[in-house]
Structure 1
Amino acid sequence: MNARIGNLHIALEQRYCAHNYAPLPVVLSRGHGVWLWDDQGHRYMDMMSAYSAVSFGHANVALVEALTQQAQRLSVTSRAFYSDRLGLFLQRLCEMTAMERALPMNSGAEAVETAIKAARKWAYKRKGVADGRARIVVCRGNFAGRTTTIVGFSSEAQYRDGFGPFDGGFDSVPFGDAAALEAAITPDTAAFLVEPIQGEGGIIVPPEGYLRQCREICTRHRVLMICDEVQTGLGRTGRLLACDHEGVRPDGLVLGKALGGGLLAVSAFLASSEVMDVFSPGDHGSTFGGNALAAAVGFKALELLQDGALAANAERLGKRLREGLRAIGHPAIREVRGKGLLIGMDLDPHVIGARAFCERLMAHGILSKETHETVVRFAPPLVIDDEQIDTALRAIGEVFHEIPLVQPQGEST
């Protein structure tokens, strides 16, 4: 009976939902901490955290309490009025990130769009770029969302296919190459938009010192450095922000995912007063952005990060997980890379593809998802502990033990 129910849920999604995702064949019904249960009662360890959105674990007691209490008082009024929650939330957010002002939105993509609008208007109103000529430098392999503006500067063909025409205004350079950034800058360049670590691009970590070099270049050319930390921010890489690893303070900062505590869509664009003051009432907005419920949950999420314990846990256990993956020593593993608990395991597709590996891993009670066909990502909730990391490593090792090795060409049995 339960199996039929599970199949029904999959069938309903297949029938009524647009086929814009390819989920693993599991129907989830409950979560707690690092664990998820399907509709048949089987337990799985969550090594995805909803792309870092569930950094605090599923059904976190403090966050659920904050959500419940606020929902019983006030949820949404729009920003046509003040609320007693938003100012406190934004104060904590700005103070923790050392930024001056914040503009609350919902999704990460909305916050990136906000950053683009701010950078362009700053270029026209403050830098003196001629109207309609502002350009933004981005990196190849980037992922910042799915809006038409954002996919217009993607280097991934599938993200762009069939969605043009695009508005332009972007110059693409190789990720990790500071010299290429400097060569791309012109008097019309408004900003450089960069992920400190490319998440969807395959957990790509740039060379040490890259962000510091970019900061110096942007300062010298009066170009805004905007860090997209939707996935990497809020403790994920072992620091509150990934740019903290190099002591870099950007001119603009994009946050999302974990900011909503795994319960709501909460995002924000943060910047200096000089940048944010280009906005006037009516220039930009969102019906749900900055609503009282989101602000209450975001405030509590930041409180859980304030003592640094979760970031420290991410740094320590991320190292344990990376070292454990490398110690497996299977020839299918081409590289293990990442920082904190944002880790990519790059596989040789001639041995096994990342999707097939994730399907096998699911059978061993571990849920993850592939990116770019060859990379399995491991990004568990930051509340994970040593024993759970070791449990995951044992399951991963068992999957590799089951994989038949591809015989090198030219050898006979």
Structure 2
Amino acid sequence: MASVIMYLCQRCRVTPMLFLLIIPVVTAMYLIYSLHKQILLFPTNEISKEHQVRILHLQGLVEDLNNEISETIAERDLLREKVQFLVGNLSQQMQLLSKENGDTWMDKYLELYQNENFENEQLLGCKQLDTIQILAKIGQGYSKVVQEGLYGRTHVAVKSVAAVVRDVQSCLKSNNYKKTEDCYLLSNYKLLKEALMLRELKHESIVKLLGVCVRSENPSPYIHERGITSVVELGSRDAVLLPQLKKLPWIQRLKISQSLASLLSYMAESPLGSLRIPDFKEEQFVMVDDVIKLSDVDDVTNLEPSCDDDMKCLIDGREIGIQCHSSYRCLGMNSRLNFARANEVFLSPLLQHSAPIKLQNSVTSLLQDVKNFNVDANELQLSLQRLEKQYYKLNSDPAF
């Protein structure tokens, strides 16, 4: 019997609650089998009166067990319907919030979730997150607070909603909601959206999601009481500020630029569609083990900018070869905007500053092509790789 249960544990991918309902069914079936076996052991022509009473008793037990099986199956089906209802209701609410914010990423995520065979990654859950020791507050944005935590011996970044963030404060001061909890709805949505996106987006220049816990919509200073908490890799924000980056050797800045070019390429063709970082700035990134990584994705969207007959598809007031689509969207604009902002914030400052004299012409020419959109992210990666080879040749060959 134990082996049957262990087999089910290993082979059946069911939720713990459904599994608890399955155990009585298996147990009952095993008992029925045993009881029938005992009945068959008695020859019909030699059954004594005492044995007949025992057989009747056993038959009554079999009937009771059959009834219990039927009731358990009914309870299982009812529970399954409730779970499906809750999942569907949650999906509808998140889709509604997504559309209210002019975002369609949730449709893409649900399509992937329903149609693809997702691997169930071993993310930390509420029980594990409750053991994290909060060490210090390291950042605060419009919708969430970021703290440094210690999980075992690993330092992590803990993200959660708090009453002090700007979005919540603006809502509380507006008095537009009767319940205080309602003012946490948008911020909680953004935190959940970020966790879902980080689970799907896999790239070496995007922070890794380590765990998530959802209890309610209420915040708390204590991690074991917080409504929603997500945990990601811990990185340094100070290390990605431009004054700090400019102190690095030029070849290291070139490698950072290569990582950014790879990220731009991935964002243009991600599993969630072409994604745009609306607020592309240094503060959206961290440095993890000398690798620059995008850490804040709650505002990332796959919705292309809108346009019409009077509003053209422009970047910084200039045309870029994209026409307004019949859907009144500038299709292809997301990747171009990321490209332009990445060049403005990182690429030009990092590559131009103290570039090797014999490579300055190549650097200037490449950055001009980037500015004029004469190259895409893939071509940029190849050009940066050629620059790296030229750099090492320059340092190994004095005659170069």
Q: TM-score range by the shorter chain?
A: under 0.3
- TM value normalised by structure 1: 0.23
| Higher helix proportion | 2
User: Normalising by structure 2, what TM-score?
Assistant: 0.24
More strand by share: 1
